[in-house]
Amino acid sequence: MARKEYAFYPGCSSQKGASASNYLTSVESMCKTLDVKMTEIPDWNCCGASISYAESGELPRLVMNARNFALAEQNLPGQDIVATCAACWLGSRESKERLEHSSVLMADTNTALKEAGLNLKVIPEVRHMVEVLIEDLGYDELAKPVKKPLDGMKFAGYVGCQTNRPFGIAGESFENPMYLDKLVESVGGTATQFDQKVTCCGGALAFSEPDKAQAQIKDIIEAAYDSGAEMLVTPCPLCQANTEVYQGQINKKYGTKFNMPVLYYSQLMTLAYGGTAKEAALDGNVIKARKLEEFAAK
Amino acid sequence: MTSVVATNQTILVVGGGISGMTAALEAAETGKQVVLVEKNPYLGGRTVQLYRYFPKMCHPTCGLEINLRRLKANPRIQVLTMAEVTGISGAKGDYSVSVKLAPRFVNENCTACGECNKAATTEIDDAFNYNLGKVKAAYLPNDMAYPQRYVIDPSVVGTAEGQAIKAACKYSAVDLDMKEEVVTLNAGAIVWATGWQPYDAAKITPYRYGEFKNVITNVEFERLADPHGPTGGKILRPSDGKEARNVAFIQCAGSRDENHLRHCSRFCCMASLKQTRYVDEAFGADGKSTIYYIDIRAIDRFEDFYQQVQANPNVSFVKSKVARITEDKNGDPRLWGVNTEGYIRYAEPHDLVVLAVGMEPSVKNVAIPIEVLGDSSGFVMADPANGGIFGAGCATNALDVNRAVQSATAAALGAVQVVSKVARGEA
Amino acid sequence: MSRGNLREGVIWIRPDTDAARETTQEMAEDYVRMACAEVKAMTVPAGNTNTGTSKTLLVVGGGMSGMTAALEASKTGYKVVLIEKTGALGGMAAKLWKRIPNREPFKAPMDNGVAELVAQIDADANIKVYLNASVVKTAGAPGRFQVDIAVESGPTVTEDIGAIIQASGFTPYDMAKLPHLGGGQANVVDQLGLETLAKAANGGPIKRADGKEVNSVVFVQCAGQRDATKEHLEYCSGHCCGTSVKQAMYFKDANPDVETVVLFTDLRMPGNNEDFYRAAQNKGIVFRKGVVSNVTGGGECKVKFKDLILNEDFTADADLVVLATGMVPTTGPDLDQLGEANRAAEGGNEEAKAQVVQMMSKSVLNLDYRQGPDVPQFKHGFNDSHFICFPYETRRTAIYAAGPVRRPMDIAQATEDATGAAMKAIQAMENAGLGKAAHPRAGDLSFPTARLEGCTQCKRCTVECPFGAIDEDERRFPLFNESRCRRCGTCMGACPVRVISFENYSVNTVGAQIKAVDIPDEFSEKPRVLILACENDAYPALDMAGMNRNEYDPYVRVIPVRCLGSVNTIWITDALNSGYDGVMLMGCKHGEQYQCHFVKGSELGRYRMSKIYDTLKGMNLEEDRLMDLEVAITDIDTLPKKINDYAKRIVEMGMSPFKGL
Amino acid sequence: MSDMNQQMTARYKNNFLKEIEEQAEMGDWVKMCMQCGVCSGSCPTNFHSAWDHPPQELFMMIRAGKRDEVLESGSMWNCVSCYNCYVRCPRKVPITHIMHGLAEYAYRLGKAPKQQPTQFLSKTFWDNATKTGRVNEVKLTQTLYFKNGLMDGIKQAMAMQSVALGLVKAKRLNPMEAVGGGHKCKDIKGIHAMLAKARELEAQRKGRAA
């Protein structure tokens, strides 16, 4: 019996072969070491993300999330829902808030859920993986299993938007949250003074309005270099993808020479806990984190 | 052991700022017995920490001097400093109040000669200057401090330095064996005048107060402008001591904001308008002030002052709540936002940013050791249910000095009514 | 009692060196001699015997402020005479359908509360009410006022009064003066006019004069207010934003579909009124930051304005337009204007005579004072105090203003204001009864007396007294009203024949100190400079300079004076004649932003000094032998420097030729 | 003019504020804005490529009844859902959601700018996600590239080739998903029925022809 159990909501991008599959792999390795049991919510569905707003309308979006709640409540009673993806976490938490705030929406939602043979009574807590690490385990616990501290490696902790606003992590400020830096330090790494840690990466506009988004991404990477960081670390799949995969195009457009690996906190922790490059899914990085690969090989 | 003469015909005034002093004096000059308790080692409260008053640009110490003269001339007022009310029991017409007295380590023999200060070596934060400077561990809180007696910081008691300080005093005024004591006194009515405190600017995270050295608060700016402040009245910015010629004032820093203070703090618009005068006096045409505001609340005849400042070409107004502040490499705070009058985006660097932080009660009604009604901000609400307890000044509302004195004068009458009834045997 | 200021005045301002010892010693000895000399010249004040004994408060004005003051005074155990010029109590507040909330929750208009106060007054045996009444004459002084009250029917009544509160209120600014905003046109009303419509609607849909139900209304803020051109009111009346919010709610509460727009430039809702503003927005009242250029009334009103946010001109149609015009205080005639008119009238100018009659008809108190019938006004016609720390100070002892006559304010503030005014009035009655001075020399028992046999009836004292304390008797001799007096000594300073004095402060008490100083001969190279320092700001500043160990010249000798206004020129001429090398006067700031605790004292003092320079010429003395310095209490560091600079200047000029004569 | 647009103009006459209150998601908050502008200043995209009308100005325009200018504006489509405005608003107005709500409503009325790329992305994403209950990233990108026809799509694909290839190499883009592969929910039928019901209920609540 694991010391903690949660209803796991991996989200679309974290599935095998999807854009954040490396996130999933490293989270699994990390949780194994920390003895945290994550049981996937059976037949979970997409949260709709923020971007679906213009097509979905309000109720359909709520209902999509409500379905996940109902499935969790039914199959994993009493367990908090834990999401690793910022968008999934935000979408679910927002839905929870609105449904709990409006009896009308709750009633309509259940009417709709009935069509899928489901019913929603109590909405479980919806939490981000990071919250579990910080609040349920704590930095000291996270430091304990460290076998290979990431000595001398400099990371810019890029928190981004949706794990930070509007809900954020308890006790952290919207403008200068420290938890990611603390996570890095708890596994022996060095967090740099990075003043773009909560700047938006452009989110979904990276697809629809690449120029606007890439202008913002440029600021972020630049600041990371200025801060003396060798790598970027983030808790959000979209932040990860946007800041990583467009560096080449930005180099073309702005004549910059960006080549900065972007990792998930879970990858760093896996490595520090003695995990292999494979377990940390370093192969999943488009911009290879050579330094970490060597570190893992040692 | 401190002895206080008080009966159920005595009026207890809690708080020795301008409101408390006013209430005490008005009651005493009407023939009533008053005990005035103040938690600082001196009277005058926040007003003494101001450089000038709007709209006259006159000096708070002027009025304080008159009030101190009235106080010294009046045998009916007993003053307890370094004193805090810890308990209140009883009811209108007959309260029993316990007051905790912190040790000053200096007794009545003190002639303020200052030898103890010379003997002291340890430096502590200068609370009077909002910790912008340091003072020796044996200090006179400010030039007009009443009582005119030094204070010794507990940190040096029981040290060799403490002994040296004691030895330096020719008048055996230093008493390091003083202990905290609690006195219980009787009162017929209580005037609650514990005043206000500036809202904690660090909570307004987009402005990075406490992280960026050149982002300060309006109360701190008063100390910078004051010739008796930490910079000798020169407007120098904290990061590098450079003259702050280009100053930004951010209004509603915490006020009118459901994430912070719901209420409008009323005085901050006038305070910032006044402070642009400091910049003007210091640098003339080389000085520049910019006020970022939502509404300029220069109410009633203060409008004159607003119009005078508007007429100054070196002062500009931007209708905008500043979104965030970043820091340039050279330490300049850069303000980001949109001027909503005609939608003009700005990313403006300044030498110094002054946050016009609002007022919150320094003791919220719920923290008063007996039930007193308050509003949603914790200000004391006038209500018969409060019995013989009357709020005065900024304990009751966000007020400027003039309004606070008005409020305190009214509160004094409430208290006088109670003790007069007691005297007539009606209560 | 006299104080030889050896610590702050000598020891702390001199270096502890052998070189300095001699001059420091001389300084100390002089101060001891001066103190002794002063004590010899003083007598202990016996206290004013001509005290009144009346403890009855007169309240002029039966509105919210007046009623509150009356009730509060009564609760404190004092009798009250309450005068209301109309036929009923309640004043403006009674004309309101509802009032702005003054307590939690700040979300909806509240009952105006007038009925409750009126009931309390009716039930209060301590309060005597005169309706349809006015004050036709106020004679006497604090504690012994004789007030003649004219009532509609029946003979004039005279009441013995101890102190007075003027709560005569305000009238709305006349919107007829605002034709460009539709003032005077159909369906354009001021805020009071809207209250009338709301009362008529009694909670139902509000109808306009022609009976049409109002479906759209526009509020125009600051109408004829905050006017930099000075053509209309220059000030902001404070309450109007809250009042418009309240009135817009009248419409929304009766029918949520009524379009209500408030046009403002700065929305001024201080304190918890911010919640009232939120509540208004929540009810769907639209607020737009805009400047209104033109309003036309009639069947379909049109409001032309520029929206400052959208930076675009708009014209709003409305069934009704409400102009938020300001408050005009009911303070009575401006004494300066009246004075001028009077002088012209005495010169036989018929127009001026009519003007005087017209002005006098506006008088509220009809004071039988040498200096005019009402309380001198401060700014914009209000009876406010110029002192931030002392908001109730007027220039007429024991007469206080309360409510919108003192300063623009809403009901909540007026109520508090009236309570404070009652406190001050009660205090003034008590002290008058004991022969004690009122603020700022509270408790002072001394008072001025005149040796009339020496008086030349020049009237300077009666004209210059800042508090109108001195009248003239039928023989034109000064007639002192001790309990009106604030003990500043301006009369004493003004008197050319020096017949006015206090027991403990007189031409002699200071003169004796001047003489007590030992003047070294001209070869000693030791000049002597006399400093006459105002005891309110200058003298404390010198004391604090001492505490800060700011050294200054050992040749100065400082004598505190009550006010620069009390400085009699004889002190200066005597000093110079007896060999002083220079005289410094230190007093408070005068002029528009005056700091003088006695309002006019330092100004009058300085005016007198400006005349001395001729005398100096007569004595063949350089102008610089007399130096007039404006001092603030904070000049702790600059003051010693100024003293030293002046001492240098004296050395440059050389010793006074009058030494040893 | 679309039917729904006709329907709404008829219903709300010139009371645009009321229309937004009732029809747009979180629209009933618009009236609470006090024009401080902290939202406009907090928006990252507004500083990189200016909005025609920042949020606070849109709110003022709504109160001023500028229906067409607001609904036809491209501004709210710039929202990146970063929530800076929301967390800083002194009136706690959920500005991010109102931006979404305005965009969605404009789109329903057929007044949104033609070929608004974000609107297209939104539709593509939602259709893609609800088709099987989970997002098929390959199909998603394909649809995006080929929105303007084959040629343009190939150009776009070439341009993004490096990106795509990188992802494929990193096993984060699975070409197989293009052909039938990819993740699905089991109860797709239930999900579709559920969503149909939800759309119906929402249309009812807002008094729109479903």
Q: Where are the domains of chain A?
A: 4-129, 147-297
C637/B227 touch (CB, cutoff 8 Å), yes or no? yes
Contacts of C238 in chain B (CB under 8 A): 299-300
- Taking only the tens place, the pLDDT of each residue in C581-591 is 999 999 999 99
Q: How far apart are CA D121 and CA D141, in angstroms?
A: 9
Contacts of D107 in chain A (CB under 8 A): 54-55
| Residue D133 sits in the same domain as residue D183 | yes
Residue D1 clears pLDDT 70, i.e. is over it: no
The two three-digit tokens of residue B59, written as one number: 């000096």
Asked if residue B107 is part of any domain, the answer here is: no
B323/D47 touch (CB, cutoff 8 Å), yes or no? no
* Average pLDDT estimate for D32-47: 96
Confidence of residue C52 (pLDDT cuts 50, 70, 90): confident
Instruction: Give B57→chain C minimum CA distance, Å.
Output: 8
Residue for token digits 């727009």?
Answer: C261
Lowest mean pLDDT among A160-164, C343-347, D150-154: D150-154
Mean pLDDT of chain C: 95
Q: Which CATH topology does A147-297 take?
A: Rossmann fold (3.40.50)
CATH assignment at residue C584: 3.40.50
Task: Give the pLDDT of residue D119.
Answer: 92
- Taking only the tens place, the pLDDT of each residue in D94-143 is 999 999 999 999 999 999 999 899 999 999 999 999 999 999 988 888 88
| Residue C311 sits in the same domain as residue C176 | yes
Asked if residue B173 is part of any domain, the answer here is: no
CB pairs under 8 A between C and D: 31
| Residue C530 sits in the same domain as residue C403 | no
Asked if residue D207 is part of any domain, the answer here is: no
Which of D103, D134, D190 lies closest to A116 in CB terms? D190
D198/A209 touch (CB, cutoff 8 Å), yes or no? no
Which of C281, C307, C314 lies closest to D32 in CB terms? C281
Residue A132 clears pLDDT 60, i.e. is over it: yes
Residue D57 clears pLDDT 80, i.e. is over it: yes
For chain D, give percent helix, strand, coil, nearest 5.
Answer: 65, 0, 35
| Residue B222 sits in the same domain as residue B332 | yes
Asked if residue D205 is part of any domain, the answer here is: no
For chain B, say whether C65 makes contact (Cβ under 8 Å): no
| Residue D105 sits in the same domain as residue D125 | no
Task: Give the pLDDT of residue C250.
Answer: 98
Distances (CA, A) of C601 to C173, C227, C534: 35, 33, 10
| Residue D16 sits in the same domain as residue D108 | yes
| Residue C177 sits in the same domain as residue C137 | no
Residue D174 clears pLDDT 90, i.e. is over it: no
Which of B66, B299, B416 lies closest to C536 in CB terms? B66
For chain B, say whether C595 makes contact (Cβ under 8 Å): yes
C284/D17 touch (CB, cutoff 8 Å), yes or no? yes
| Residue B273 sits in the same domain as residue B353 | yes
Task: Give the pLDDT of residue B1.
Answer: 65
Which of D15, D31, D61 lies closest to C310 in CB terms? D61
CB pairs under 8 A between A and D: 224
Amino acid C622 reads: E
For chain D, say whether C657 makes contact (Cβ under 8 Å): no
Residue A195 clears pLDDT 60, i.e. is over it: yes
Contacts of A174 in chain B (CB under 8 A): 205-206
Point out which residues pair with B53 in neighbouring strands. Answer: B58
Distances (CA, A) of A118 to A111, C211, C407: 9, 59, 67
| Residue D108 sits in the same domain as residue D7 | yes
Asked if residue C500 is part of any domain, the answer here is: no
- Of B311, B344, B359, the position where a domain reaches its end is B359
| Residue C627 sits in the same domain as residue C559 | yes
| SS3 assignment, position B139 | strand
Task: Give the pLDDT of residue C122.
Answer: 97
Mean pLDDT of chain D: 91
Asked if residue D210 is part of any domain, the answer here is: no
The two three-digit tokens of residue C584, written as one number: 């410094």
| Residue D139 sits in the same domain as residue D42 | no
C632/B59 touch (CB, cutoff 8 Å), yes or no? yes
Touching pair A, B by Cβ (3+ pairs < 8 Å): yes
B304/C536 touch (CB, cutoff 8 Å), yes or no? no
Touching pair B, D by Cβ (3+ pairs < 8 Å): yes
Contacts of A175 in chain D (CB under 8 A): none
Best of D102, D105, D125, D188 to disrupt the A interface by mutation (most A CBs within 10 Å)?
Answer: D125
Among chain C residues, the shortest Cα distance to D28 is held by C282
Q: How many separate domains does chain C show? A: 4
Residue C35 clears pLDDT 60, i.e. is over it: yes
| Residue C62 sits in the same domain as residue C160 | yes
Contacts of C310 in chain D (CB under 8 A): 57, 60-61, 64
Asked if residue C339 is part of any domain, the answer here is: no
Instruction: Give B368→chain D minimum CA distance, Å.
Output: 29
- Of D64, D96, D112, the position where a domain reaches its end is D112
Task: Give the pLDDT of residue C334.
Answer: 95
Interface of B with C in 316-355 (CB under 8 A): 319, 340-343
Which of D31, D60, D61 lies closest to C284 in CB terms? D31
How many other CB atoms are found less than 10 A from the CB of residue A28?
A: 16
User: What are the backbone angles phi and psi of residue C317, rounded to the nearest 5°?
Assistant: -90, 145
Three-state SS for C320-378 is: EEEECCCEEECCCCCHHHHHHHHHHHHCCCHHHHHHHHHHHHCCCCCECCCCCCCCCCC
Contacts of A169 in chain D (CB under 8 A): none
Sign of the torsion formed by the C-alpha atoms of B97, B98, B101 and B102 = negative
CATH assignment at residue B235: 3.50.50.60
- Of D78, D112, D146, the position where a domain reaches its end is D112
D40/B343 touch (CB, cutoff 8 Å), yes or no? yes
CATH assignment at residue D33: 1.10.1060.10
- Chains near C (3 or more Cβ pairs under 8 Å): B, D
A286/D103 touch (CB, cutoff 8 Å), yes or no? no
Asked if residue B175 is part of any domain, the answer here is: no
Q: How far apart are CA C225 and CA C250, in angstroms?
A: 24
Asked if residue B108 is part of any domain, the answer here is: no
Which value, to the nearest 10 degrees, does the dihedral of the CA atoms of residues B139, B140, B142, B148 take?
A: 170
Q: Which of A23, A39, A9 is nearest to A244 (CA)?
A: A23
- Of B323, B344, B359, the position where a domain reaches its end is B359
Asked if residue B174 is part of any domain, the answer here is: no
Q: How many separate domains does chain D show? A: 2
Asked if residue D171 is part of any domain, the answer here is: yes
| Residue C146 sits in the same domain as residue C76 | yes
| Residue C395 sits in the same domain as residue C543 | no
Asked if residue C33 is part of any domain, the answer here is: yes
A283/D195 touch (CB, cutoff 8 Å), yes or no? no
Q: Is C370 exposed, middle or buried (0-12, 13-18, 19+ CB in 10 A)?
A: middle
B321/D36 touch (CB, cutoff 8 Å), yes or no? yes
Domain spanning A4-129 has what CATH number? 1.20.1050.140
| Residue C234 sits in the same domain as residue C266 | yes
| Residue C265 sits in the same domain as residue C399 | no
Q: What is the CA radius of gyration of chain C?
A: 30
Touching pair D, C by Cβ (3+ pairs < 8 Å): yes
| Residue D175 sits in the same domain as residue D81 | no
Contacts of D57 in chain C (CB under 8 A): 309-310
Asked if residue D35 is part of any domain, the answer here is: yes
Best of B324, B338, B341 to disrupt the D interface by mutation (most D CBs within 10 Å)?
Answer: B338
Q: Max Cα separation, chain A?
A: 59
Task: Give the pLDDT of residue D181.
Answer: 66
Please enumerate residues of A whose Cβ is less than 8 A from a Cβ of B. 173-176, 195
Q: How far apart are CA B325 and CA B330, in angstroms?
A: 14
Can you give the residue range of the structural domain that contains B139? 115-168
Distances (CA, A) of C271 to B267, B297, B359, C419, D91: 10, 11, 10, 20, 16
C307/D64 touch (CB, cutoff 8 Å), yes or no? yes
Interface of B with C in 150-209 (CB under 8 A): none
Residue D210 clears pLDDT 60, i.e. is over it: no
| Residue B226 sits in the same domain as residue B330 | yes
Contacts of B358 in chain D (CB under 8 A): none
Touching pair C, B by Cβ (3+ pairs < 8 Å): yes
- Chains near B (3 or more Cβ pairs under 8 Å): A, C, D
For chain D, say whether A162 makes contact (Cβ under 8 Å): yes
* Average pLDDT estimate for C360-384: 96
Task: Give the pLDDT of residue B214.
Answer: 98
| Residue B148 sits in the same domain as residue B98 | no
Which of B59, B264, B381 lies closest to C104 in CB terms? B381
- Of B344, B359, B374, the position where a domain reaches its end is B359
* Average pLDDT estimate for A177-200: 96
- Taking only the tens place, the pLDDT of each residue in C286-318 is 999 999 999 999 999 999 999 999 999 999 999
H or E element in which residue D100 lies: helix D95-108
Asked if residue D160 is part of any domain, the answer here is: yes
For chain D, say whether A189 makes contact (Cβ under 8 Å): no
For chain D, say whether A82 makes contact (Cβ under 8 Å): no
Instruction: Give C107→chain D minimum CA distance, Å.
Output: 14
Q: How far apart are CA C88 and CA C94, in angstroms?
A: 9
Task: Give the pLDDT of residue A204.
Answer: 87
Task: Give the pLDDT of residue C563.
Answer: 97
Which of D34, D35, D90 lies closest to B259 in CB terms? D90
Asked if residue D48 is part of any domain, the answer here is: yes
Q: How far apart are CA C199 and CA C201, in angstroms?
A: 5
Can you give the residue range of the structural domain that contains C468? 449-492
D197/A109 touch (CB, cutoff 8 Å), yes or no? no
Task: Give the pLDDT of residue B285.
Answer: 97
Task: Give the pLDDT of residue A232.
Answer: 97
Percent of chain D with pLDDT over 70: 97
Inter-helix orientation angle B268-283/B303-310, to 10°? 40
- List chain B pLDDT tens, one digit each, 427 residues: 678 999 999 999 999 999 999 999 999 999 999 999 999 999 999 999 999 999 999 999 999 999 999 999 999 999 999 999 999 999 999 999 999 999 999 999 999 999 999 999 999 999 999 999 999 999 999 988 999 999 999 999 999 999 999 999 999 999 999 999 999 999 999 999 999 999 999 999 999 999 999 999 999 999 999 999 999 999 999 999 999 999 999 999 999 999 999 999 999 999 999 999 999 999 999 999 999 999 999 999 999 999 999 999 999 999 999 999 999 999 999 999 999 999 999 999 999 999 999 999 999 999 999 999 999 999 999 999 999 999 999 999 999 999 999 999 999 999 999 999 999 998 6
Q: How many separate domains does chain B show? A: 3
Give the strand order in the sheet containing C163-166. Answer: C127-130, C79-83, C56-60, C163-166, C399-401
Which value, to the nearest 10 degrees, does the dihedral of the CA atoms of residues C555, C560, C561, C567 take?
A: 0
| Residue B36 sits in the same domain as residue B85 | yes
**Cβ contacts of C344 within 8 Å, gap of 6 or more:** C351, C352, C355
Can you give the residue range of the structural domain that contains D141? 117-200
Mean pLDDT of chain A: 95
* Average pLDDT estimate for C340-367: 95
Asked if residue B61 is part of any domain, the answer here is: yes
Best of D183, D194, D199 to disrupt the A interface by mutation (most A CBs within 10 Å)?
Answer: D194
Q: How far apart are CA B48 and CA B43, in angstroms?
A: 9
- Of D60, D83, D112, the position where a domain reaches its end is D112
| Residue C212 sits in the same domain as residue C310 | yes
Lowest mean pLDDT among C473-487, C543-557, D139-153: D139-153
- Taking only the tens place, the pLDDT of each residue in A15-73 is 888 899 999 999 999 999 999 999 999 999 999 998 999 999 999 999 999 999 999 99
